[in-house]
Amino acid sequence: MRLKDFFIPTQREIPSEAEVISHNLMLRAGFIMQVAAGIYNYLPAGLKIIRNVENIVRQCMNEAGAIELLMPSVIPSELWKESGRWSKYGKELLRIKDRHNREFCFGPTHEEVITDIVRKYIKSYKQLPINLYQIQTKFRDEIRPRFGLMRCREFIMKDAYSFDIDEEQCKLSYKKMFDAYCKIFDRMGLVYKVVEADTGAIGGNVSHEFMVIADTGEDTIIYCEACGYAANLEKAAVKYIEISEQKDREMPLEKVITPQMKTVKDVAVYLNVDESKVVKTLILKCGEKFYALLIRGDYELNLIKLKNTITGEMPEFATADEIKKITSGPMGFSGPIGLKIPIYADYSIKGLINFVTGANEKDGHFKNVNLGRDFEVCGFYDLRNAVEGDICINCGAAYKSAKGIEVGHIFMLGTKYSESMGAYFRDANGSLKPFIMGCYGIGIGRIVAASIEQNHDEKGIIWPIQISPFEVIIIPVNTNDPYVIEYSNRLYNSLKKLDIRVLIDDREERAGVKFNDADLVGYPIRVNIGKKSLENNELEVIIRKSNIMTKVNVEDAADTINTVICELKK
């Protein structure tokens, strides 16, 4: 491609809306352009990158035996009502109406549609297993889109769905996808971790997330270097450690005045105790039922764990009015003593003595509160977020934590959709069985963003060659020198003959402009063809990543570059 005939609108100015580096660089390199909050144009070079990522994904999926199809982005509400998700899926689901006032949604995921296909055509165990996938534009009406392609509302996703005769076969399908995902992210050159995850709104029981490690990531992952355990924050288990404080040192209960001291921090500072000696009492609501949760002041409640161990449904925090009604005290002063609703406690409370809690009245707290003596709880559970330094549930070493970008997520779904939507097949005995399903997503745009987060320097992007919009850029340095132009064109044609994805910067720009643009856009290999070096019958090959420049004889140039490309692809 000749740059004059192509379109890469690089910007010199730093876009004011871009907070994270990948967003900033994608805007400046002319890959994307914002149309609305969380909705972007993919400009030509950006599209090339997207396509490269898609093709790697596609190739690995095909190798793993998955079959590509394409489902619509607009889906009638009927299918979603069958699965029950029309009402359960929250505001993220963009619901729209056609001219006849019929309800549709813009698909955020396609379990319903794929199940509809399979239940219609797959009738026998002989047709199984099958894994169908698509690469499609999805829409999720995120509360807060941000960080460019990292969290947008409209985004491109690869989603695959497997159908099996039983759990065991499903595990095999799941494993195949697991391995395919590893291969995909390896080929992209990404540094990632696979973590255990909660299944959330999609449903099911087993789930893994593929996390690209990056400080700008929105997710927290907890991992153990000793045994390899890794999970996201929602899932990471906290091991119960016995605290052996001496029961006989219990002191008499004491009420203290704590004017305006609403937060754990306020109270701890005011009473001159450590935050870990303040126990917070959280009032949660789940349907019509209320619960009180006790957590040590320096820890955070994990709603997902609460849902999975106690409430079953996703709980919400009670409002100020509800708290007033239930505890008879204002928000900020709740405590377990005298509460009439079920009280559950995190393990962190067990064994604690002489702690501080709210007194369920304005400006009042209790000191020297003790479990058993002053109140009782229904039980102790793991209800808090793990933190760095916690003891690994597997091996006893200390957890570490890191920020990650979720680029892939795989689930074993079981029969959630097949049963609700009546998708059954005949097994070998002739009896009707629901399909055992799995689903497997990869965020294409997110991979692009994540790749930039991991591969850039102060000048711009450093593409892994597999993803780069072009493999080589040729820069004729002196555009007024006929030899420079001639040799540039000659090399360009030779590289094209070798099927190398080559771009020649034939613009009438000064060398510095071209160099800076090349560094910004991030081509892995740059070839400078200038008057000076041509006098020695040489040109310069520069590797973007290492910034190493090699002088190469013009006659050998094409072959040398081809060799370099092969090296970089390894």
Partner RNA sequence: CGGGAUGUAGCGCAGUUUGGUAGCGCACAGGUUUCGGGAACCUGGGGCCGGGGGUUCAAGUCCCCCCAUCCCGACCA
Q: Is the CB of 57 or the CB of 152 nearer to RNA?
A: 152
Least Cβ distance, residue 260 to RNA (angstroms): 11
Least Cβ distance, residue 504 to RNA (angstroms): 15
Give the single-character DSSP code of 384. B
- Tokens at residue 318, please? 């009670």
Ramachandran angles phi, psi of 149, nearest 5°:
-75, -5
User: Which of these, 414, 386, 411, lies nearest to 400 by C-alpha position?
Assistant: 386
User: Alpha-carbon distance 382 to 295, whole Å?
Assistant: 10
Q: Is the CB of 134 or the CB of 455 nearer to RNA?
A: 455
Q: Is the CB of 236 or the CB of 520 nearer to RNA?
A: 520
Q: Is the CB of 75 or the CB of 561 nearer to RNA?
A: 561
CA 481 vs CA 258, 486, 529, 557: distances in Å: 81, 9, 11, 20
Least Cβ distance, residue 32 to RNA (angstroms): 12
Ramachandran angles phi, psi of 275, nearest 5°:
-60, -25
Least Cβ distance, residue 198 to RNA (angstroms): 12
Q: Is 56 in contact with 165 (CB distance < 8 Å)?
A: no
Q: Is 521 in contact with 29 (CB distance < 8 Å)?
A: yes
Q: Is the CB of 58 or the CB of 403 nearer to RNA?
A: 403
Q: Is the CB of 20 or the CB of 105 nearer to RNA?
A: 20
User: Alpha-carbon distance 520 to 224, whole Å?
Assistant: 37
Least Cβ distance, residue 141 to RNA (angstroms): 11
Q: Is the CB of 19 or the CB of 254 nearer to RNA?
A: 19
Helices (H) then strands (E): counts for the chain: 15, 31
Least Cβ distance, residue 311 to RNA (angstroms): 14
3-state secondary structure of 131: strand
Least Cβ distance, residue 87 to RNA (angstroms): 19
For RNA, the binding residues (CB under 7 A) are 10-17, 19, 28, 34, 36-38, 143-147, 262-264, 280-283, 297, 300-303, 317-320, 323, 331-335, 358, 385, 459, 477-480, 510-513, 515-520, 528-534, 540, 542
Q: Where are the alpha helices (DSSP H) in 244-387?
A: 264-271, 303-306, 320-327
Least Cβ distance, residue 559 to RNA (angstroms): 20
Q: Is the CB of 4 or the CB of 373 nearer to RNA?
A: 4
Between helix 557-569 and helix 482-497 the angle, nearest 10°, is: 50
E-state strands within 237-352: 254-257, 279-286, 289-296, 316-317, 343-346
User: Alpha-carbon distance 378 to 386, whole Å?
Assistant: 22
Least Cβ distance, residue 277 to RNA (angstroms): 13
Least Cβ distance, residue 45 to RNA (angstroms): 14
Q: What residues are paired with 413 via a beta bridge?
A: none
Q: Is the CB of 16 or the CB of 101 nearer to RNA?
A: 16
Least Cβ distance, residue 35 to RNA (angstroms): 8
Q: Is the CB of 141 or the CB of 250 nearer to RNA?
A: 141
Least Cβ distance, residue 459 to RNA (angstroms): 6
In sequence order, the 6+-apart residues with CB closer than 8 A to the CB of 442 are 57, 157, 158, 159, 181, 184, 210, 407, 408
Q: Is the CB of 153 or the CB of 416 nearer to RNA?
A: 153
In sequence order, the 6+-apart residues with CB closer than 8 A to the CB of 505 are 3, 473, 474, 475, 476, 514, 517, 518
Burial classification of residue 208, based on how many CB atoms lie within 10 Å of its CB (0-12 exposed, 13-18 middle, 19 or more buried)? buried
Least Cβ distance, residue 473 to RNA (angstroms): 12
| Angle (nearest 5°) at CA 244 between 240 and 245 | 125
User: Alpha-carbon distance 335 to 50, whole Å?
Assistant: 53
Q: Is the CB of 154 or the CB of 159 nearer to RNA?
A: 154
Length of the chain: 570
Q: Is the CB of 87 or the CB of 480 nearer to RNA?
A: 480
Q: Where are the alpha helices (DSSP H) in 64-155?
A: 77-83, 85-88, 111-121
User: Alpha-carbon distance 210 to 231, whole Å?
Assistant: 10
